Copies of this chain bind each other. A is one copy, B any other.
């Protein structure tokens, strides 16, 4: 892999002309008949096999069209160690296919425990990913081991800042000295973000998660963090438009840039992909990719 996560990511999105990140969220009930097995119960070993086959087949159609994929750890963990084994194979296959991998695991813990979670950013890990999502509630000292691993191994970290769900208002929008908590979180990342800027593009590998459902907040966040990559979920199924999703992007050499926009359900589970016919499924997935690529390409043009 190249040396600097943000440089690699931005180089590839420039090449492709769009910031689409394919979310790999294998919701069990949505997996199409083509890939389903008898029970689909989480504890049934055949379920992990079905999930792996489905995600690898989707990846095979997606990989050439996106800079990055974002597997959601929860859906694999639900299946026990066999699910984690499937996740490892998906991650390995995605990287072999030339995609960067952001593991969406929203980890966070203290001291040596955080360091253990940061292991997946380390060259010695059994499962290596290019970036990881993390939760800031425990404080800045708990983010340090992730930053350290990212710095040492050229990887990336995305800190949850303003999430896409309605309930994000409960804590993230609470005012502290007149400023919402999420903006305090962002402010606390600025110095380290500046230190993790890439030599080629100037973008930082210390990113944030900022939901497409709150576009107004993106401008505030961009001002606070001028060089930080935004990982933007909530585009598509959750209701954020393509224009909303790239609100925090800025002018670059090949259109607006500054992060990636994640779509999962719309890509993996288009309605016409709920079939047991391989060719029908392939056409449905290809069309879903084309729609998202086109829409996001226009939004950054």
Contacts and interface: CB of A to CB of B under 8 A. Distances in A.
Interface in A105-161: 106-114, 116-117, 119-120, 122, 124-127, 135-142, 160
Contact of A81 (B88, B119, B142): B88
Contacts of A169: 139
Interface in A184-224: 184-185, 188
Nearest to A110: B165
A166 B137 contact: no
A171 B75 CA distance: 29
Contacts of A109: 72, 74, 106
A88 B82 CA distance: 11
Q: Determine which residue in A109, A117, A168 has the highest number of CB atoms from chain B within 10 A of its CB, and name it.
A: A109
A80 B171 contact: no
A103 to B, nearest CB: 11
Interface stretch (A93-101, A174-182, A273-281): A174-182
A291 interface: no
Interface string A11-38: 0000000000000010100000000000
What 10 pairs between A and B have smallest CB-CB spacing? Answer: A139-B167, A80-B126, A141-B167, A74-B116, A139-B170, A81-B85, A137-B137, A81-B84, A43-B126, A110-B165
8 contacts: A43-B125, A83-B126, A106-B109, A110-B167, A137-B137, A171-B184, A176-B176, A181-B181
